[in-house]
Amino acid sequence: MNFTKSNIFQQKNRPGGKHFPAWFLLFLAAIILIGACTNSGKHSKDDRQLGRIYGKTLFLSDMDGMLPQGITAADSTVIIDTYVRYWMREMALLHEAEQNIPKDLNLEKLVADYRSSLIKNNYGNLVMNKLLDSTVTSVQLQEFYEKNKEQYQLETPILRCRFIKAPRNAPNSDKAQDWWNSNKGEGFAELSRWCTQHAAVSYLQDSIWYNVDDIAVFMPRGALTVDNVENRRDFIQRDDNFVYYFKLLELVRKTEIAPLSYIEAQARKVILHKRKTELLEDLKDKLYQEAIRKKNLEVYK
């Protein structure tokens, strides 16, 4: 096997001058990311050796599951060659690291702690999937908000609004302005359909909160700012290329408390995290008490 000619970043060297499809390059990347760095140590006499460095050998069987069904011989060679080079680089780094292990490094303890952490986390996830109630009601959200809302003081103003940026020459622009000014449901429905077809940007959902800059970035400079937003509550503005429609529905100023609808997603995460922590602590206590009942623990003084 030639470890120097094959290179996934030099597609022109592939036999026949063909280029690798995107899925193939992504597959190669995945192989490198998930591939094992060391082999299992169990190999048959017929197992093919792919490479060797500093006493460590990579075998073809170490790549079991890495080659997709129906792959061509040429593509198989590219994957193997690429992974061999990746593996050797990893082993070279591992060898150098092994030569420079600090004398005071308790490697066995680190491995044991990491193993324990993986096992506990895996079991914890199994318990959470089985027992954790992931439903957060509106009442629970409101209770959380009332107890914690002082923590959610705004650092920048937020607003609910309607906003459209559309080309000046868009079809039916005159009708769009009439629909914009209409408060009737039919007019708003027509406006929504028109935005879908012609608008460069459109924000028509009344319930979503934005920072002022989230809207201002689509407007001419200075058209909407933190300082002037209160005075520019409803306007239509034009420049050489676009028409900008803006209507302020609600504004919460800097240093005021954010409304629940603005922090709802974050509140849900906090509630569920607390619920998960309490469930795990209850589980630990239950298992500890069970160990006491079964006389499977002793405390030495």
- Which band of pLDDT confidence, cut at 50, 70 and 90, is reported for residue 14? very low
Predicted local distance difference test score (pLDDT) of residue 248: 96
Average pLDDT over residues 34-51: 69
Give CA–CA dist 217/215, Å, rounded: 5
The single residue listed with the structure tokens 């120097």 is 4
C-alpha angle with apex 272: 271 to 275, nearest 5 degrees? 90
Instruction: Indicate the SS3 state at residue 40.
Output: coil
CA–CA distance from 188 to each of 176, 181, 183, 184, 191 (Å)? 10, 9, 7, 6, 5
CB atoms within 10 A of CB 173: 14
CATH topology for 154-252? Chitinase A; domain 3 (3.10.50)
Average pLDDT over residues 151-155: 94
Element (H, E) at 185: helix 185-198
Residue 29 has pLDDT above 80, yes or no: no
Bridge-partner residues for 56, per DSSP? Answer: 53
- Which band of pLDDT confidence, cut at 50, 70 and 90, is reported for residue 5? very low
Give CA–CA dist 275/239, Å, rounded: 53
Which is more confident, 31 or 146?
Answer: 146
Residue 245's nearest CA partner among 201, 189, 188, 193 is 201
Q: What is the pLDDT of residues 279-292, one digit of tens each?
A: 999 999 999 999 99
Give CA–CA dist 125/142, Å, rounded: 28
**Best-predicted range by mean pLDDT (1-10, 67-76, 266-275):** 266-275
Residue 74's nearest CA partner among 121, 128, 18 is 18
- Alpha-carbon Rg for the chain, nearest whole angstrom, is 31
Predicted local distance difference test score (pLDDT) of residue 30: 62
C-alpha angle with apex 300: 294 to 301, nearest 5 degrees? 140
Q: Which residues of 207-225 are buried (b: 16+ CB within 10 A; e: fewer)?
A: eebbebeebbebbeeebbe
**Residue 252 corresponds to which tokens in the numbers above?**
């919460």
Q: Is 153 left (phi over 0), alpha (psi -120 to 50) or beta?
A: beta
Predicted local distance difference test score (pLDDT) of residue 24: 59
- Which band of pLDDT confidence, cut at 50, 70 and 90, is reported for residue 40? low
Average pLDDT over residues 244-272: 95
Largest CA distance in the chain: 87
Residue 3 has pLDDT above 80, yes or no: no
Residue 1 has pLDDT above 60, yes or no: no
Residue 6 has pLDDT above 90, yes or no: no
Length of the chain: 301
Element (H, E) at 148: helix 138-148
Instruction: Decide: 245 and 215 in contact? Cβ < 8 Å.
Output: no
Predicted local distance difference test score (pLDDT) of residue 232: 92
pTM score, two decimals? Answer: 0.64
Residue 208's nearest CA partner among 147, 264, 142, 151 is 264
Residue 62's nearest CA partner among 76, 48, 82 is 48
- Which band of pLDDT confidence, cut at 50, 70 and 90, is reported for residue 238? very high
Which is more confident, 19 or 8?
Answer: 19
Predicted local distance difference test score (pLDDT) of residue 35: 57
Mean pLDDT (the chain, rounded): 86
Predicted local distance difference test score (pLDDT) of residue 78: 86
